[in-house]
Structure 1
Amino acid sequence: METPATPTLPINRIVQGKNPREYFDPVEMADLEAGLRAAGRVVQPILVRPIPGSDLYEIVAGERRWRAAKNVFGNDYGMPVVIEALNDEEAEAIAVIENHHRAPMSHAEEAQAAKRQLLRHKGDKEEAAASLGWKPELLERRLALLSCTPAVLAALTRRQIQLGHAELLAGIPPDKQSSVLTGVLAHKVPVGVLKEQLGRFARQLAAAIFDTAQCSACPHNSARQAGLFDESLGEGYCQHPTHFDELTLQAVVAKAHGLRDQYPLVQIVKLSDGSAYLPIAAEGELGVGAAQYAACQGCASFGCAVSALPGSYGDVTLSQCFDAACNTQKVAAWRKAQRENEPPLPPKTAKTLAKRDQPDVTVARPSNQTPQRVKDFRVTEWRKWAAKELMAKPERNRRVMIALARCGHAGDVRSIEFGAAAKRIAGPCVLERLDFAVALPEADAIDAQHLEQLMLAVTASAAFGVGLRDLEALLNYLEVDEGRHFKWSTEFLELFTMSELESLSEEIGLKAKMGAAFKLARAKKKGDFIKSLLAVPAFVYEGTVPVVMQYPRRTVSAASIGLTGDELPVAPVETAEEEALAA
């Protein structure tokens, strides 16, 4: 009986195909070549497919044997072959299976092949796995390796690192993989040591203060590696500490933002900042007294600290002072007041004095720092009050204009505010022009009955142009009564945080008037708290002016500097223009 001959092809008519194997181990190839020399031939035929339009054939499976035979027997050797007409998909699947069960491909090469098969099967993992003769679990494990950088995959292919190294590196950010790989190769770091080192930098998801639902599908979640790989950090770790810290800081910032309505100052504390705040209280070693503490709650430097420190992320520390110098002064003042008001006691009874028996302590009037937003509102209101008073006091109005002209501040007159007042006084068509030559005849056409009020409005508009120091002088000169102008409103109270509102309520007696209802109102949202503060029965709002809206008092008159009308200094006339004005 004759045995059918196996077809052969000259090696020079056989070319490389799309082999998923990229690395051919030199030691294994040397062993294979030695076996061929001993046998004197290639025993196992290779699988090839014809290349359309040529007399060449492409290797589907058996490239290692083809390479070894070429080196041992030369290009004219008749290579035993099995010829099949296969498409690209069939050819690659057979190549992967053949390599997997012979001298296996590297896991990195299998991962790339799995990716290509998955694309061919339009993302259907079951079909892709079946085409490779794999279980779906093996496909998932190989695809997960693609989280490694090309450098890591290349090292795995060349057998420079073990699979465990690659599995651990797959969980860390790509920009860190290369640097870690360099260290692993340089120091021949074992898998167990690498695992321990990476664990030191990972973050525990259980300690996160942000929503970790977003982490479930993250490639840096150790749970993903734990479910697929033999080597991992286990479940519950974020292997991207930089991103974890970014999300943590975002959560801290969001928490701090939610406290803005509660306190004048909300500070995020970081490791690089150091401690720049002090606890503040009415009593205790660092106490400032009850009255001063109430005032401190409305201070621009009073607030809370939100931790961005490891181990205490998001923790809020309440009742903090962020002005160390002021805090030191207030604590010292309270201690001094306690000492000065404490009566001398016999040595034996000094330690037994009960708190209820301690005398009242007299201290200086409480003070704090007004928040800038309140200052801005206050100045705006002061300007309106001064303007109204200037319209109501003609004589002082003229004297103010004389003072403005005398000191070169006539430019403080504001055309916009004057224009608005002029429209109310004389109608909408008054002085719409900014060109003096045009505005002059328009002014001449104004009904004489409006001139007096318009002149008062000119000076009144200067209240919106003078500087703060001059504004305070103007308020004092006009003897403005804040109680006639100030109105309690939601707009005003919205300027304050909850802490400042409590301080303000205590200052004006509103807190005492509300009694137990204050605590209930304080627990509400800010808008509802404000409504409660503005609706307290029997509280006299009219004429009650908080300190923050009161201007500083000082005397502004000729008498205040010791001058009479005859003694007022008159500067000598020096120029023709001044001489003409004097005449």
Structure 2
Amino acid sequence: MGASHPLQPGGPVTPTTQPTLPIRRIVQGKNPREYFDPDEMAELEEGIRAVGVLEPIVVRPVPGTDLYEIIAGERRWRAAKNVFGDDYDMPVVIKDASDETAEAMSVIENYHRAAMSPAEEARAAQRQLLRQRGDKEETARLMGWSPEVLERRLALMACTPTVLKALTTRSIQLGHAELLSGIPPEKQDSVLAGVLAQKVPVAVLKAQLGRFARRLADAIFDTAQCSGCTHNSARQAGLFAESLGEGYCQHPSHFEELTLQAVQARADALRDEYPVIRIVKVSDGFTPLPLTAEGELGVGAPQYTSCQGCQSFGCTISAMPGSYGEVSHSLCFDAACNSQKVALWRKAQRDAQAAVDEAAGKGAKQSTAKVSGKAGQKGKAGSNAANKAVAASAPTNQTPQRMVAHRLTEWRKWLAKALMTQPQRSQRVLIALVLAGRGADLREAQFRNAFDRMAGQTAPAGFGVRGGLQRADAAPEAQLDRLLQAATASAAFGVNTSDLELLLNYAEVDEGRYFQWDKEFLDLFTMSELESLAVEVGLKKAMGTGFKAARASKKQEFIAALLKVQGFSYQGTVPAVMRYRRQPVLAEGGQGGAGVEVDEVEGSEAAASHSDVQPETALA
């Protein structure tokens, strides 16, 4: 290490006590500065070429070698090396510093000289914070920064490495990076590419990002979770010169995810209310179809009540900006069916109005005052007449599939019980099944249960036909006829739906004898369906003014109210959804499952008039 250094090659030697080291013995340290601006370096080299290095750089020994590592002053070391070469005696200050102290000194030195990139400072701040185990106060002290400066630099670490590199190389301004730090990392690089390609100014980028941000005031989810989020614009607004301001979420996809979760929760809360609940998104292009009793697209009061029990009746919940979480009630999700119902209602109105006009024409000799007095009643009379016409035409709906499945299960039980009370019809059904090649419709499981109860056998038997013969031969002779009935009745659980309805008609099954009003049955319905059902069977009328309060309660409370209406005749009252279609069975040319509806036959099983009818045996 020499005691003097030349100011320039070949120049005079000035005595000094300043320590120096040949440049060849100085190596790079862990400099937080990653980018050295070419123009600034060229300017520095010109100054060093003129007067040499006037201010020493700070170095520390590299253990086990004769080399020294730069702590601060790498720009001067680079410039002197380029100008004077490896033999130049570099003025130095030698420090014995730890890694964390060395980096802190380097940051401070750079911070107060030619400014490092904020990205370089951010990385250095993050490393120092890790060394201090998250102690921001100590980190700021070591780096010679205020806590606010530290927070600003740490916030930049939300940028991707590509964005930080662009900031380091001066390809973008600090404002660009501040704005980009708020959007999702997976979007930053693609937005950066557009900024670089189009040379987008900071103000324009800010406007563009603002169009995609979501207002937290519009959120239907709990925004308390957003307070510490890096994508909350309030974070950038409190730290950076450039931001979208407070109150914005800059992560649209996450905002949509949280919104959908909240919308789904609202949908789940409406499961008891409607058969159909649809969440509507911007991409759906969905147009709701309101269902009303009156108005231009009305279907009439009777049909509207029936529609409330339809599988296509429901609501929508908006997942679209500006209307997040809004519920649109009373919608139809079958446009074709709705069009037919609207057309029928309009025709009924026209026909009713024609009848009113015709009746009014017969009184044309009345005074002008009387005619004027009745004119206001004409529209109401026409509407009432139209409602009566629609009611008379038996309003219809599409039965929900869960109800179809339930009633099929019940019909099979009812048919099995009915066949067990009608020996002769049971025998004819068995013959019909064999003649039709439908013996496979007999069901072993149901028959085996009945056989075990009726035959009272407990001893094990063999397998296959041999085992069956053993059990049949051991059965009490007195039970053989009943066992044959049970075998036939088991077919109720095997025949297809068409044949099931055919056999229900043949056995003249009376639904009123078997149907039970209970909580299990009503639980199958949504609230709108329960309301439709209550109107249909007369429960709403029987409840009077109490119906409205019951309907406004929760589902289980509503069901409880429907099951304890004073004066209502539950026994024998069967909802239309549980009735099977009446059709001719033995009429000439009749086909199973393809008959037309006829009036309900009275008498049912009693019409068989068998004197030896025995108690039913349930097969289910």
* Band of TM-score, shorter chain: over 0.9
Residue-by-residue CA offset, 1:467-487 (whole Å, 9 max, x unaligned): 000000010000000000000
Deviation, 1:446, is 2.3
Deviations 1:397-444 (A, max 9, x none): 110010111111100111111111112212363787652233322322
- Give the aligned partner of residue 22 of structure 2: 10
- Residues in 2 aligned to 1:433 and 1:216: alpha-carbon distance in whole angstroms: 74
Equivalent-residue separation in structure 2 for 1:431 and 1:485 (angstroms):
36
- Structure 1 pair 561/156, CA: closer, same or farther in 2 (3 Å)? closer
Q: Deviations over 1:253-311 (max 9, x none)?
A: 22222212111212222333334542222222222221111111111111112222322
Number of residues paired by the alignment? 560
Give the Cα–Cα distance (whole angstroms) in 1 for the partners of residues 425 and 459 of structure 2: 25
Paired position in structure 2 for 1:360: 385
Q: For residue 186 of structure 2, what is the aligned residue in structure 1?
A: 175
CA RMSD of aligned residues (A): 2.0
**1:455 counterpart residue number:** 484
TM superposition shift of 1:490: 0.6
1:14-55 deviation line (CA, Å, top 9, x unaligned): 11111111111111111111111111x211111111111111
Match of 2:530 among 501, 508, 517: 501
Corresponding position of 2:600 = none
1:477 to 493, 506, 515: 506
- CA shift, 1:557, in A, is 2.7
- After superposition, the C-alpha distances for 1:77-131 in whole angstroms (9 at most, x for unaligned) are 1111111111111111111111111111110000000001000000111111111
Alignment of 1:343 onto 2:356: yes
CA gap of 1:158–1:276, structure 2 versus 1, over 3 A, is closer
- State the alpha-carbon separation in 2 of the partners of residues 104 and 343 from structure 1: 92
Contact 1:397 1:460 in 2 (8 A): yes
Amino acid at match of 2:159: C
Q: Determine the C-alpha separation between the residues in 1 that align with 2:397 and 2:459.
A: 47
Amino acid at match of 2:567: A
Which one of 425, 429, 432 corresponds to residue 403 of structure 1?
A: 432
Matched, 1:389 2:418: yes
Contact 2:33–2:120 (Cα < 8 Å) also in 1: yes
State the AA in 2 paired with 1:467. N
Judge conservation of contact 1:299–1:500 (CA < 8 Å) in 2. Answer: yes
Distance 2:469 2:376 in 1: 85
Aligned-partner Cα distance in 1 for 2:287–2:19 = 87
Give 3-state SS (helix, strand or coil) of 1:353's partner.
Answer: helix
Q: Which amino acid aligns with 2:565?
A: V
For 1:351 and 1:10, the matched residues in 2 are separated by 114
Q: What TM-score comes out, normalization by structure 2 length?
A: 0.87
Task: Kindly state the Cα deviation for residue 531 of structure 1 after the two structures are TM-superposed.
Answer: 0.5
Partner of 2:127: helix, strand, or coil?
A: helix
Deviations 1:292-335 (A, max 9, x none): 11111111111112222322222111111111121121122122
How far off its partner does 1:163 sit? 0.6
Q: Which amino acid aligns with 1:360?
A: A
Partner in structure 2 of residue 103 of structure 1: 114
SS in 1 for 2:340: helix
**What is the rounded CA distance, in whole Å, between the counterparts of 1:517 and 1:85 in structure 2?**
90
Q: Report the counterpart of residue 578 of structure 1 in structure 2.
A: none
Per the alignment, residue 575 of structure 1 pairs with none
1:222–1:235 contact (8 Å) kept in structure 2: yes
- Residues 332-352 of structure 1: CA deviation (Å, up to 9, x unaligned): 212222222332245975854
Counterpart amino acid of residue 185 in structure 1: L
Structure 1: any 5+ residue segments left out of the alignment? 563-583
Distance of 2:30 and 2:590 partners within structure 1: 103
Counterpart position of 1:417: 446
**One-letter code aligned to 1:189:** V
Q: Does 1:25 align with 2:54?
A: no
Out of 543, 555, 558, which is 2:572 matched to?
543
The 3-state SS of whatever aligns with 1:443 is helix
Larger deviation: 68-77 or 467-476?
Answer: 68-77
**Residue in structure 1 matched with residue 285 of structure 2 by the alignment:** 274
The 2-side partners of 1:220 and 1:354 are apart by 63
Q: How many angstroms apart in 1 are the aligned matches of 2:490 and 2:332?
A: 41
1:157 maps to 2:181: no
Gaps of 5+ in 2: 1-13, 365-370, 592-620
Task: Report the CA distance shift for 1:271/1:42 in structure 2 as closer, same or farther (over 3 A).
Answer: closer
- Structure 1 segment 114-129 matched on structure 2, within 5 A: 114-129=125-140
Residue equivalent to 1:223: 234
CA distance in 2, matches of 1:472, 1:357: 42
Are residue 52 (structure 1) and residue 63 (structure 2) matched?
A: yes
Q: Does structure 1 retain, via aligned residues, the 8 Å contact 2:81–2:88?
A: yes
Q: Show the counterpart of 2:8.
A: none
State the distance in 2 between where 1:278 and 1:18 align: 68
Q: Which SS does the other structure have where 1:466 is aligned?
A: coil
* Corresponding residue for residue 288 of structure 1: 299
Q: Is the 8 A contact 1:423 1:430 kept in 2?
A: no
Q: Contact conserved, 1:202 with 1:238, CA < 8 A, in 2?
A: yes
Matched, 1:557 2:568: no
The normalised TM-score by structure 1 is 0.92
Shift of 1:538: 1.4
Determine if contact 1:13/1:56 at 8 Å carries over to the other structure. yes
Partners of 1:537 and 1:269 in 2: how far apart? 43
Q: Residue 86 in 1 paired to residue 97 in 2?
A: yes
Question: For residue 202 of structure 2, what is the aligned residue in structure 1?
Answer: 191
Mapped to 1, the partners of 2:266 and 2:545 lie a distance apart of 29
2:293–2:303 CA contact under 8 A, matched in 1: yes
Residues 430 and 319 from structure 1, CA distance in 2 versus in 1: closer, same or farther, beyond 3 angstroms?
farther
The percent of aligned pairs where both chains have the same amino acid is 64
Is the 8 Å Cα contact of residues 461 and 470 (structure 2) preserved in structure 1?
no
352-361 or 125-134, which deviates more:
352-361
Identify the match of residue 466 of structure 2 among 424, 430, 437: 437
Q: Distance in 2 between matches of 1:277 and 1:80?
A: 81
Q: Partner of 2:317: helix, strand, or coil?
A: strand
More divergent stretch after superposition (324-333 vs 227-236)? 324-333
- Stretch moving more, 409-418 or 338-347: 338-347
After superposition, the Cα gap between the structure-2 partners of 1:434 and 1:270, relative to the gap in structure 1 and judged at 3 Å, is farther
Question: Is residue 2:248 matched to residue 1:248?
Answer: no
Matched residue SS, 2:385: coil
Return the alpha-carbon distance in structure 1 between the equivalents of residues 69 and 283 of structure 2.
64
Aligned mates of 1:434, 1:229 — CA distance in 2: 85
CA distance in 1, matches of 2:550, 2:272: 15
| Structural mapping, 1:62-81, within 5 Å | 62-81=73-92
Counterpart of 2:316 in structure 1 is 305
Aligned equivalents of 1:62, 1:549: Cα separation in 2: 92
Task: Map Cα deviations across residues 134-159 of structure 1 (whole Å, 9 max, x no partner).
Answer: 11111111000001011110011111
Give distance in 1, aligned partners of 2:376 and 2:171.
79
For residue 492 of structure 1, what is the aligned residue in structure 2?
521
Paired with 1:561 and 1:252, the residues of 2 have a C-alpha distance of 52
- Cα distance in structure 2, aligned partners of 1:558 and 1:82: 118
**In structure 2, do the counterparts of structure 1 residues 259 and 374 end up closer, same or farther at CA, with 3 Å as the change threshold?**
same
The residue that corresponds to 1:326 in the other structure is: 337
- Name the CA shift for 1:440/1:77 in 2 (closer, same or farther; >3 Å): same
